[in-house]
């Protein structure tokens, strides 16, 4: 089970192209922008780039609504640009993985245009159509983006299912032709030279074929569709078919976005032999502040909850299976604002969080801007938000007469746009992201938080990430070693021990802005820390230390 593998030794950098780097002044990031920043990424030391969707799309959900899998979105560039990115990244030793969105397409995709054209169209069954008895929706399912998951179509007087926006109709995976077409699209992209896929919302592809009504909370009209559409029995048959037909023969890297997989089932997903993917993303730690049944209510959490949300997956996969390690992505807020402190201790706490998650057992992902400690921003008005989920949420909560300030407060802590604000490259106007008007506001703190500044300051968060990457690359115990949590019940400290071949590595972090005494002295030599010098027996505010001891039993 300790078999070496390139995707285990890699560090992945996630790019949200729309917000990364604009090269032509239209206010939208593009492929040329990524190509121009390859030197920066290569310097950082990452091995793989995950590029969020760049396929042709009407952009209802920023590219997660694909109109044509075989075409690049015009505002991002051309297919030639994409091939150039793959080639130039390759020349820097960087592999590219693409987002695979296979649960749904855009309603403007040719397949759906045909499917909706008539009940007897050969592609009718490629999507999920149902009559609405008595003029009601077929079921009371609530879409992930709010409102009914069913959309009525005048033309054929039936409803189609959409787990996400109404412009993202769900494909019918029960239909073998659908599966064959998705698989051949995957093969086509692998042949273009990509190294694998981040697989979007994959746990939604199987629907309960009884199409049952679900129990709604209180007086609510709809119930979250997860109960009938998330990780349903039978889903693994589809996934094993994908593995057999596409993945195994081509030996590509896969990281699946897999909400809803209970920990007891993790091995069915990521076991090296009998699982289907190399690794999955789980969301327990980033979703501690909401309850699925009441997404609009902010839920308080404790440090012990946060540590447990990560550590339990570590323990469960300790000797077989592999996790994708992350603190941020394009659907979540900035981690330093959420789990650290974006005030006085921004730099210390951003480095501490980095040390905490990066050396767990799995493949670390860095989301653009995380490496310079980008923060959340309290948007002054709903007019400035762009994210469909946030806009739907605002409309719904407004209809319930929730005060505007309260809604904005919630969005400042939860909106997906928090993580989508343009990358802060420099103190130039618009943070060096664009020469035009950015599609989403630039965080005003770009004048002090930006890449140029971070490159100049040898003590920056950016340099700390570089050191972490190097440390992990040079010490296989930090990749393949066993994992054991320490200070499990502490509400202040968090950490773990990684062991391999007589080496014992300790990662210890103080999650508070206070000094915290440690009863046991640290074992071994300090290899990396985020503050200058460590005082024995004491962890300073937001201090993180990484120590190595030798001659220990595994
Ligand atoms: O399960 C969820 C809510 O119940 C969500 O966390 C869900 O897994 C997530 O919203 C899926 O996200 C991905 O697919 C979406 C897209 O909008 C996101 O940006 C993407 O990351 C639809 O393609």
Three-state SS at 223: strand
Predicted local confidence at residue 1, as pLDDT: 43
Give the distance (Å) from ligand 1 centre to CA of residue 478.
30
Predicted local confidence at residue 292, as pLDDT: 73
Three-state SS at 160: strand
In this structure, are residues 505 and 497 in contact, taking their beta carbons and an 8 Å threshold? yes
Residue 68's CB is within 10 A of a number of other CB atoms, namely: 15
- Report the atom number in ligand 1 closest to the C-alpha of 260: 1
Average pLDDT over residues 154-171: 98
Would you call 60 a catalytic residue per the annotation? no
- Asked, for residue 94, whether it belongs to a domain, the answer is yes
Predicted local confidence at residue 489, as pLDDT: 98
- Asked, for residue 127, whether it belongs to a domain, the answer is yes
Number of structural domains found in the chain: 3
Please state, for a pLDDT cut of 90, what percent of the chain lies above it.
94
Give the distance (Å) from ligand 1 centre to CA of residue 454.
32
Token pair, residue 297, equals: 């209510």
Average pLDDT over residues 351-376: 98
Predicted local confidence at residue 153, as pLDDT: 97
- Cβ(158) – ligand 1 distance below 6 Å: no
Q: Are residues 492 and 461 in the same domain?
A: no
Predicted local confidence at residue 399, as pLDDT: 95
Q: Are residues 13 and 119 in the same domain?
A: no
Would you call 200 a catalytic residue per the annotation? yes
Residue with CA nearest ligand 1 atom 11:
201
Which ipTM score applies to this complex?
0.96
- Asked, for residue 395, whether it belongs to a domain, the answer is no
Classify burial at 187, counting beta carbons within 10 Å of its beta carbon; exposed 0-12, middle 13-18, buried 19 or more: middle
Q: Give strand ranges (E) for 16-104.
A: 48-51, 55-56, 68-72, 95-100
Residue 359 has pLDDT above 50, yes or no: yes
d(CA 399, CA 296): 13
- Cβ(287) – ligand 1 distance below 6 Å: no
Lowest mean pLDDT among 2-11, 156-165, 320-329, 414-423: 2-11
d(CA 341, CA 329): 18
Give the distance (Å) from ligand 1 centre to CA of residue 60.
14
Q: Write the pLDDT tens digit of every residue in 367-403.
A: 999 999 999 999 999 999 999 999 999 999 999 999 9
Residue 296 has pLDDT above 90, yes or no: no
Q: Are residues 79 and 154 in the same domain?
A: no
Q: Please give the residue range of the domain that contains residue 521.
A: 482-549
Q: Are residues 347 and 454 in the same domain?
A: yes
- Report CA dihedral (502, 503, 509, 515) to the nearest 10 degrees: 80
**Average pLDDT of every residue of the chain:** 97
Q: The pTM is what?
A: 0.98
Dump the DSSP string for 499-527. EETTEEEEEEEE-SSS-EE-SSPPPSEEE
Predicted local confidence at residue 551, as pLDDT: 80
Question: In the listed set 161, 192, 225, which residue is the last one of a domain according to the structure?
Answer: 161
Q: Write the pLDDT tens digit of every residue in 255-290.
A: 999 999 999 999 999 999 999 999 999 999 999 999
């Amino acid at each position: 089970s300790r078999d070496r593998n390139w995707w285990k030794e890699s560090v992945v950098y996630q790019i949200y192209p729309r917000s990364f780097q604009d090269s032509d002044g239209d206010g939208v990031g593009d492929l040329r922008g990524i190509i121009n920043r390859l030197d920066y990424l290569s310097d950082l030391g990452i091995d793989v780039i995950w590029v969020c969707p760049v396929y042709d799309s009407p952009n209802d959900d920023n590219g997660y609504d694909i109109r044509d899998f075989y075409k690049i979105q015009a505002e991002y560039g051309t297919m030639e640009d994409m091939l150039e990115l793959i080639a130039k990244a390759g020349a820097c030793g960087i592999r590219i993985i693409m987002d695979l969105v296979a649960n749904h397409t855009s309603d403007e995709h040719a397949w759906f245009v045909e499917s909706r054209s008539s009940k007897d169209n050969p592609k009718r069954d490629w999507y999920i159509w149902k009559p609405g008895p008595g003029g009601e929706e077929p079921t009371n399912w609530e879409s992930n983006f709010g409102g009914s998951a069913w959309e009525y179509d005048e033309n054929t007087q039936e409803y189609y299912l959409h787990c996400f926006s109404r412009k993202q109709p769900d494909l019918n995976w029960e239909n073998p032709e659908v599966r064959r077409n998705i698989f051949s699209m995957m093969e086509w992209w692998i042949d273009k030279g990509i190294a694998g896929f981040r697989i979007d919302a994959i746990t939604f592809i199987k629907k309960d074929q009884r199409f049952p009504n679900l129990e709604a909370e209180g007086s609510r009209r709809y119930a979250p569709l997860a109960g009938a559409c998330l990780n349903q029995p039978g889903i693994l048959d589809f996934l094993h078919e994908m593995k057999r037909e596409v993945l195994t023969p081509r030996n590509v890297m896969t990281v699946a976005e897999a909400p809803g997989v209970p920990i007891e089932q993790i091995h069915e997903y990521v076991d090296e032999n009998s699982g289907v993917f190399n690794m999955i993303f789980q969301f327990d730690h980033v979703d501690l502040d909401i309850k699925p049944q009441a997404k609009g209510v902010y839920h308080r959490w404790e440090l012990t909850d946060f540590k447990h949300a990560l550590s339990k997956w570590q323990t469960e996969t300790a000797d077989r299976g592999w996790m994708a390690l992350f603190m941020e992505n394009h659907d979540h807020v900035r981690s330093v604002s959420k789990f650290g402190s974006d005030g006085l201790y921004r730099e210390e706490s951003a480095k501490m969080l980095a040390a905490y998650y990066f050396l767990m057992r799995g493949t670390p992902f860095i989301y653009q801007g995380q490496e310079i400690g980008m923060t959340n921003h309290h948007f002054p008005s709903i007019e400035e938000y762009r994210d469909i989920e946030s806009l739907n949420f605002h409309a719904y909560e407004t209809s319930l007469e929730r005060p505007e300030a309260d809604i904005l407060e919630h969005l400042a802590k939860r909106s997906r746009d928090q993580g989508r604000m343009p990358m802060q490259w420099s103190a130039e106007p618009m943070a060096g992201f664009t020469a035009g008007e950015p599609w989403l506001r630039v965080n005003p703190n770009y004048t002090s938080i930006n890449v140029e500044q971070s490159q100049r300051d040898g003590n920056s968060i950016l340099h700390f990430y570089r050191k972490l990457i190097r440390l992990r690359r040079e010490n296989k115990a930090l990749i393949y070693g066993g994992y054991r949590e320490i200070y499990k019940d502490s509400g202040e400290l968090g950490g773990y021990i990684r062991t391999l071949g007589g080496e014992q590595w300790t990662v210890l972090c103080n999650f508070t802005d206070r000094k915290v005494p440690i009863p046991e002295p640290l074992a071994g030599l300090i290899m990396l820390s985020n503050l200058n010098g460590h005082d024995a027996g004491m962890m300073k505010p937001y201090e993180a230390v990484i120590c190595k001891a030798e001659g220990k039993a595994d």
